[in-house]
Amino acid sequence: MNAKAGHRFDTVLADALLADGSTVSIGITAGRIAAIDAALPAGGDAMSLGGSLVLPGLIDAHVHLDKSLVGDAWQSHRRGTSATFSVMERVAIEAEILGRAAPVEQRAAALIELAVAHGTTRMRSHVDIDPVTGLKSLHAVLAARERYKHAASIEIVAFPQRGLVSCPGTLELMDAALREGADLVGGLDPSGVDHDVDGQLDAVFGLAQRHAAGIDIHLHDAAGEGLAELDEIARRTKAVGMAGSVNVSHAYALGMVPEADAQRTAEKLADAGVSILTNAPGNHAYPSVMQLREAGVTVIAGNDNIRDAWWPYGDADMLERAMLIAYGSGFLTDEELAVALDLATHSAARALRVDDYGVHAGAPADLIVVPARNVAEAVVARPARSHVFKAGKLVARDGKYVGH
């Protein structure tokens, strides 16, 4: 887009390298990208980026702001006693640890600041809703969302971690959470946790339709059991016309069955408009990113648990998550590394229904500056973000959160 003669911008980012290899100046006015050109009149605040790569703000499409212990004392990880992974045993361990942790809002604030410092300008957080915690965690995360709205856009999923239909009182609390500010309806292992696939999905889709909300379901259930649940989620999504509004997080089953079986389910998910999120866990099979994308499924990425009772790792960096997904998937070429980044940028924006996302004229000026020569190097090297802008305002610099 060519700048109009005499136009003055609030901010001009000069000598900016775009993902396509072009070097441009980016003019920002009123929080949006007003122009992108080879050269723009400086005006306002102008800075040279020295040829650094400019990317749209990163999207963490699955995080737990209420669980993280970032900003609190270090907690050594406690293994469960079960020979295999048990959601409910881990829930019990978590409850004990969080019972003596710092307040939710304090820990959520620390994690948001860390994420923003690494270039995340939008995130989707699951928040526990159950008779034990009630709506306390929701209210704390809502407060943190308001406090940091200048730096990050945050969606909240009401997450029934102790079960939805098998845990009395949770359905009513979920309904209240959606009235009080949660944006999406969550679910968890309809078979493995609730032992009632139809019952949980009836409740999840019922709440979503009642509140005109989207859906994001955790699905760890394995192999054939999980695949059948994915097929049913796809069927229900298509039947009620919710294409583009339903995501399944993890979907481990897709990585645990023969390729032909996964392909059949992938085609159903694509036809229904159901997206799949992965964090490429190091100790578990997970869906084939390329198989799903080639079938037409929107695949997205998130950090999931960050330094909490479930997982001691993570620093909220979505470039690092893209690298881990690429590494675990055997991606080597520049084109494959660009796919890994796409899961935390454009694909995530489509799944989260973010309008006008990207580095183009008219888009919100949610931008990160990475000292790298191309996208592949950014994913592999993961250098500290030199600048992070939210709506044109600098919110982080040189890997540190700077606030307003």
Domain boundaries, the chain: 11-56+356-401, 58-351
pLDDT at 83: 58
CA pair distance 347, 338, nearest whole angstrom: 12
pLDDT per residue as tens digits for the range 18-58 = 999 999 999 999 999 999 998 887 666 889 999 999 999 99
pLDDT digits (tens, 9 = 90+) for 177-231: 999 999 999 999 999 999 999 999 999 999 999 999 999 999 999 999 999 999 9
**Given 3.20.20.140, 3.40.50.1820, 3.40.50.150, 3.40.50.300, which CATH number is that of 58-351?**
3.20.20.140
Name the residue with higher pLDDT: 282 or 210: 210
Mean pLDDT of 329-354: 98
pLDDT of residue 84: 59
Mean pLDDT, residues 94-122? 93
Residue 4 has pLDDT above 60, yes or no: no
For residue 249, give the nearest of 181, 304, 309 by alpha carbon.
304
Q: 308 versus 291: which is more confidently predicted?
A: 291
Q: How confident is the model at residue 96 (pLDDT cuts 50, 70, 90)?
A: confident
| pLDDT band, very low/low/confident/very high, at 81 (cuts 50, 70, 90) | confident
Confidence of residue 257 (pLDDT cuts 50, 70, 90): very high
Segment 58-71 shows an average pLDDT of 96
Residue range 300-314: mean pLDDT, rounded:
93
Q: CA-to-CA distance for 204 and 216, rounded, in angstroms?
A: 9
Q: Residues 118, 152: contact at Cβ < 8 Å?
A: no
In the structure encoding, which two tokens stand for residue 19, read together? 């993902």
Query: What per-residue confidence (pLDDT) applies to 49?
Result: 97
Tokens of 216: 């994001």
User: How far is Cα 301 from Cα 288, in angstroms, rounded to an integer?
Assistant: 13
> Is 284 within 8 Å of 254 (Cβ atoms)?
no
Residue 8: the pLDDT is 83
pLDDT at residue 6 in the model: 57
DSSP assignment of 294-344 equals HHT--EEE--B--SSSS-S---S-HHHHHHHHHHHHT--SHHHHHHHHHTT
Task: Give the pLDDT of residue 42.
Answer: 63
Q: What are phi and psi of 110, to 5 degrees?
A: -65, -40
Between 1-15, 109-123, 225-239, the lowest mean confidence (pLDDT) is in: 1-15
Of residues 87 and 71, more confidence is placed in 71
What integer pLDDT is reported at residue 283 of this predicted model? 87
Longest dimension (CA), the chain: 70
pLDDT number for residue 104: 96
Q: Residue 90 above 90 pLDDT?
A: no
Q: Tell me the pLDDT band of 2, cut-offs 50, 70 and 90.
A: very low
Q: Is the pLDDT of residue 303 over 80?
A: yes
Structure tokens at 79: 């293994």
Task: Provide, rounded to the nearest whole percent, the portion of the chain with pLDDT above 70.
Answer: 97
The token pair that represents 10 in the structure block: 């609030």
The whole-number pLDDT of residue 77 equals: 85
**58-351: same fold as 11-56+356-401?**
no
Q: What tokens does 148 get?
A: 């940091």
Question: If pLDDT is split at 50, 70 and 90, which confidence band does 1 have?
Answer: very low
Please state the CATH superfamily assignment of the domain spanning residues 11-56+356-401 in this structure: Urease, subunit C, domain 1 (2.30.40.10)
For residue 7, is pLDDT > 80?
A: no
**pLDDT per position as a tens digit, 344-387:** 999 999 999 999 999 999 999 999 999 999 999 999 999 999 99
